Amino acid sequence: GESVGLHLPTLSVQEGDNSIINCAYSNSASDYFIWYKQESGKGPQFIIDIRSNMDKRQGQRVTVLLNKTVKHLSLQIAATQPGDSAVYFCAERSDSSYKLIFGSGTRLLVRP
Amino acid sequence: DTGVSQDPRHKITKRGQNVTFRCDPISEHNRLYWYRQTLGQGPEFLTYFQNEAQLEKSRLLSDRFSAERPKGSFSTLEIQRTEQGDSAMYLCASSHPGGEQFFGPGTRLTVL
């Protein structure tokens, strides 16, 4: 398959460790934030979302943290698995516009 | 498969030719979006539809680009007089109003 991103920042973690992927977003008026996972040759896949009135949301093995003061979003993946290897993008949007604005991605590599 | 589908998956064309891509959204979704993604970047919004109405267009969508969703179901994206700079992955997504956007696998366009 083709590479999603050739020059992306890369996070390399050992299988079983926790991963933290960070994102700085651009618009302080954004109401909604999403993390997507993109594997080579595929479209982005929804992982977890959070609204601007929250600062933390947990899913299965994933947690998203939102710090509106510094416009920072993070994705925590517990017990990282080889299948988690992909490029991860954060995205934001406001309720007045349904277009998503994507941040720059991070490539996650999981070492066996 | 009940996800978003796109056709073709790959398109190679010569500069100056016209190309058309098709997107079939998830059947009960009335919102449909087009994005463009170049290597190493996150997807960039192009346009979106609610039913058959095109409600928002990015300035990235030059006069050579046109999108339609005539019956509020599938959508087409046409690029006229293609240029090498049009080479990218063209992604389609669909959603319920205010819901998460589900992406298709994309159409990879290469303009020679």
Structure tokens at A22: 């960070």
Looking at the partner chain, which of A41, A46, A103 has a beta carbon nearest the beta carbon of B102?
Answer: A46
Tens place of pLDDT per residue across chain A (112 aa): 333 445 689 999 999 999 999 999 888 889 999 999 999 989 999 999 999 999 999 999 999 999 999 999 999 999 999 999 999 999 999 888 888 999 989 999 999 9
Smallest Cα–Cα separation from A38: which of A7, A6, A82, A3?
A3
Q: Does A57 touch chain B (CB under 8 A)?
A: no
* pLDDT for position A4: 42
Put simply, whether A102 touches B (Cβ < 8 Å) is yes
Per residue in B76-101, pLDDT (tens digit) is: 999 999 999 999 999 999 999 878 89
How far apart CA A78 and CA B109 sit, in angstroms, is 36
pLDDT in tens, B3-47: 999 999 999 999 999 999 999 999 989 999 999 999 889 999 999
How does strand B10-13 pair with strand B107-111? Answer: parallel
Interface contact B93, partner A, CB < 8 A: yes
